[in-house]
Structure 1
Amino acid sequence: MEIPELVDVLRREGALLADTAAGTPLDAPVPTCPDWRLRDLVLHTGQVHRWAAAHVKGGLTRPLDEAGQEAAWGPAPADAELVEWFRTGHADLVAVLAAAPADLACWSFLPAPSPLAFWARRQLHETTVHRVDAQAAAGTAPSPVDAAVAADGLAELLTGFLPRPKSRLRSATARTLAVRPADRPESWLVTVGQEPPQVRPGAGPADCTVGGPAHDLYLLLWNRREADPATVTGDRSLLELWRETAAVTWS
């Protein structure tokens, strides 16, 4: 996906998250994030937006330290102001990304064609996943994620986050998970062993295969939905291991 496409989806997803939060009690539990209430989700995502915008706007070559993060976030708003505070930070992030030069030089933490592409992509998927969380708190079904967007999010997860040394996804014996979206040409093979997972594009033999619409696989592998038996073939314990240990953190 090109950067303007990423930014446009980020704009829509943030607006949908805010609209959902505006119509839902802020103390509603978030089933997909069991330790959170909706206010925690909105606050977290708004803080991430401000944190990301600070790196892009300032062209920062190192990540913000604790004091810098707190300065970027500002004081936590009261409940009555929380959604509008979120909208303001989201709008600023969208504007900063849309105005940034293509040759922007700043810190990033996953492979990407450029720092600007990294930040646009990362904030799109941060916001989309948490929009799904907000809808879960509201008790509504998640709005569909476009197949191209979902495939891009799978690629970020599988080829960016998953192979990092800090990934906790490990298996005593090497096993392979195949990820095969039914509505996209992309597919991946994830080998899980005693070292960080190895990911390669394409199809091939696998111990466990997850297949179906890219939207469903996006939610499944970001741990936002349960697996439908129809979407999983082979050794389901590998998918269970994924769900227990493949949590994502930013650093």
Structure 2
Amino acid sequence: MEITAHLDALRREGALLADAAARTDPAAPVPTCPEWRLRDLVLHTGRVHRWVTAIVGDRLPAPLDAEGERAVGEPQPGDAELVDWFRAGHAALLDTLTAAPADLDCWTFLPARSPLAFWTRRQAHETAVHRVDADSAAGTEGPRTDPEFAQDGVDELLSGFLTRGRSGVRSERPRTVQVRASDGPGRWLLTISREPLAVEPAEKPADLTITGPAHDLYLLLWNRLPTGAGQVTTTGDDSLLELWREAATIR
């Protein structure tokens, strides 16, 4: 996807998140993140937006240190100011990314064709996944994500986050999972072993095959869709889904 498409998604998903939060009690539980209340979700996403605004806006060559993290996170808004505080941080992030030059040079943490491409993509999906969380707190399903954007988010998760050495998706013996979008070209063959997850853009026989619309795959693999929900079908060793639920977490 192009940078402009990720910016459009970030704009749309942030507005939807804020709208869901505005009609929901800040103390409402978040079913998709059981340890959080809505205020925790909004504070987390708003702080991430401010954190990235600082990294991109100041062209930082390394992540913020503890003192910088505290400065970005303060002051913490009360419940009455929470949504306006979120909207302000979201707008500042959009302005900063939109104004950033194509040759932006700053710190990133996943491979990408450029730092600007990395941060627009990362923040679009950060915000989209947490918009789903906000909808769950509001008790609404919310709009489905566009298939191209959803496939892009699946690819970022599988080929980016979960191939890193810190990933906990491991198995004592090699096992394979085929992920297949039913409404687009997305195909990922995952090999789970003692080593970090290996991902190929291929379609081959596997121990478990997961097929469904890109939106449902996006939510399932980000652990936002319960097993058996949506239009996802599985064939093969379903115990691999339980392994995924337990190990595929992003901190």
Q: TM-score range by the shorter chain?
A: over 0.9
Displacement of 1:239 in angstroms is: 1.2
In the other structure, the counterpart of 1:242 is 244
SS of the equivalent of 2:180 reads strand
CA offsets per residue over residues 61-99 of structure 1, 9 Å max, x none?
A: 011001111112221101100100000000000111111
SS at match of 1:51: helix
Matches within 5 A, 1:211-226: 211-226=211-226
Residue 202 of structure 1 and its aligned partner are, at CA, apart by 1.1
| AA in 1 matched with 2:50 | R
Query: Paired residue for 2:235?
Result: 233
- What is residue 36 of structure 1 aligned with on the other side? 36
Q: Which residue of 1 aligns with 2:124?
A: 124
Deviation at 1:207, TM superposition (A): 0.3
**C-alpha distance in structure 2 between counterparts of 1:183 and 1:102, whole Å:** 32
- Aligned residue for 1:180? 180
Question: Which residue of 1 is the match for residue 198 of structure 2?
Answer: 198
Q: Which runs of 4+ in 1 moved over 3 A?
A: none
TM-score between both structures, scaled by the size of structure 2 = 0.98
Secondary structure of the 1:162 match is: helix
Question: How many angstroms apart in 1 are the aligned matches of 2:112 and 2:234?
Answer: 30
- Deviation digits for residues 137-166 of structure 1 (CA, Å, limit 9, x no counterpart): 011113201001000000100000011010
TM-score by length of 1: 0.98
Look up the match of 1:95: 95
Inter-partner Cα distance in structure 1 for 2:228 and 2:28: 26
Q: State how many pairs are aligned.
A: 249
Question: Unmatched 5+ residue regions in structure 2?
Answer: none
Q: d(CA) in 2 for partners of 1:87 and 1:18?
A: 7
Task: Find the residue that maps to 1:188 and give its secondary structure.
Answer: strand
C-alpha distance in 2 between matches for 1:143 and 1:3: 22
Q: Which amino acid aligns with 2:131?
A: R
Cα offset, 1:170, TM superposition: 0.7
- SS of match in other structure, 2:52: helix
Deviates more, 1:65-74 or 1:127-136: 65-74
Aligned CA-pair RMSD: 0.9
- Where does 1:151-166 land on structure 2 (aligned, <5 Å)? 151-166=151-166
What's the offset of the Cα at 1:227? 2.3
Quote the sequence identity (%): 61
Shift of 1:11: 0.3
Report what 1:86 is aligned to: 86
